[in-house]
Amino acid sequence: MSKINIFWFRRDLRLEDNIGLYNCSESGTAFLPIFIFDTTILEKLKEKNDSRVQFIHNNLSIIKDKLQENGSDLKVYFDTPEKAFKKILNEFDVDSVYCNEDYEPSAIKRDKLISAFLNKKNIELKSFKDHCIFAKNDILKSDGKPYTVYTAYKNKWLSSLVPENISSIKIKKMVDKLFKIKPDKIVSMSELGFEELSVTTNLKPIRKKMIIEFEDKRDFPALDATSGLGVHLRFGTISVRKCVQQAYHSDDKAWLKALIWREFFIQILFHFPHAEKKAFKAKYENIKWVNNRTHFKKWCEGKTGYPLVDAGMRELNETGFMHNRVRMVCASFLIKHLLIDWRWGEHYFAQKLLDFDLSANNGNWQWVAGTGCDSAPYFRIFNPEIQLKKFDTKLIYVKKWVAEYGTEDYPEPIVDHRTAYNKALITYKQGIN
């Protein structure tokens, strides 16, 4: 049996502009692409109508079809990564395994485990930077420490950028080097334990108009003024280099700054993995949260009596998406008005968001809570009524998602803003002193 290489798809579900895939195809050895539906991850998903699993499944089917057209296939496994690789090594004579890096704490732990397992078989796990322009120790302060303030990080990020960083990678030899194999069917959604859903995988084009108008229109939830690429960046169905190319060469740099925020949070979680479950700033662990479960349920259901909050939560529950400005308002309301632990909200968003990304979700929740790096001060509390008047003046967004708004069926506010505001200030002050 001839030796082959394996390319392991993870959060890079595309055949174009994929650095790990490029290096695998250039190795000179025939290779077989694989994907592993990790049972340790899927078992944690309580809802069995998860759009994210369907999104992944849809994109794997697209990749599988393209590979089959060229006489190869995408081998899809449903198991733990270690057990999946045991099956792979029993079936194929593997020389090396190629993949792209993943910087989340659980992914780093997984890759160390798989690397150690493969090393015992004299097989190397070769990983490449593809998910970010800069990662790990690429952007550091002069003293060699990671940045914890966005503006300073952004400035160093921009000054470090050269054309090579954002050049797209053309994979020329992929077809020639694909391992020829008899095609098989992909594991079904029902076999994975999930319902079949109607989820679009369509990749919206990067609109120049969106980039130019991003700064002026991004805060208005009734407008289609954001990229809509969050889920595609999350699962790698679009290359981050393609996005940065467009953003960098635009006169308006607001969208580029948003992309840099994404990388800032990725490197924060990489360097400070404790932030996954604890406050980045340790003193904020002493806040005495109220954690009223009735209030939390009303927040989850979009029945707080604050229209912008309720519209956002209902949009999230129905679509798996929420406008970024509204995310901040909803998060602030849960934390500051209801004094519910930011981790409760972070966990709920993690369950519901189609574009859920651990580093961004964690970083933004901690930013709003005032517990994170480069965070808003704890005494900055969004007034949901003022936010509504400012960003949904004509109530277009609210009326779309809260049908009973303006009728006697719409609930009264579950807390008074001024009372909640003052209570939050006292609670935070007592907690950090």
The tens digit of pLDDT for each residue in 394-419 reads 999 999 999 999 999 999 999 999 99
Global pTM value: 0.95
Q: Give me the pLDDT at residue 208, please.
A: 92
Q: Work out the average pLDDT over 304-327.
A: 97
102-148 confidence digits (pLDDT tens): 999 999 999 999 999 999 999 999 999 999 999 999 999 999 999 99
Helix 358-369, helix 342-352: angle, nearest 10:
150
- What was the pLDDT predicted at 380? 86
Tell me: pLDDT of 250 over 80.
yes
Contact 188, 61 (CB under 8 A): no
Cα 1 → chain centroid: 40
Burial code (b: 16+ CB inside 10 Å, e: under 16) for 132-141 equals: bbbbeeebbe
Residue type, 109: K
What confidence tens digit (pLDDT) does each residue in 3-59 have?
999 999 999 999 999 999 999 999 999 999 999 999 999 999 989 999 999 999 999
Q: Could you tell me if 270 and 135 are in contact, meaning their C-beta atoms sit under 8 angstroms apart?
A: yes
* Banded model confidence at residue 265, pLDDT cuts 50, 70, 90: very high
Distance CA(135)–CA(144), nearest Å, equals: 14
CB atoms under 10 Å from CB of 165, counted, come to 14
Average pLDDT over residues 347-355: 96
Picking from 328, 325, 299, 293, the residue whose alpha carbon sits closest to that of residue 313 is 299
d(CA 228, CA 230): 6
Structure tokens, 281: 């700033």
Say how far residue 140 (Cα) sits from the centre of its chain: 23
Encoded tokens for 155: 């400035």
Sequence-separated (6 or more) residues with CB below 8 Å from residue 291: 339, 340, 341, 344
Identify the structural domains of the chain with CATH numbers, from first to last: 1-130 (3.40.50.620), 132-166+208-271 (1.25.40.80), 276-432 (1.10.579.10)
Instruction: Give the pLDDT score at 34.
Output: 98
pLDDT, residue 377, reads: 80
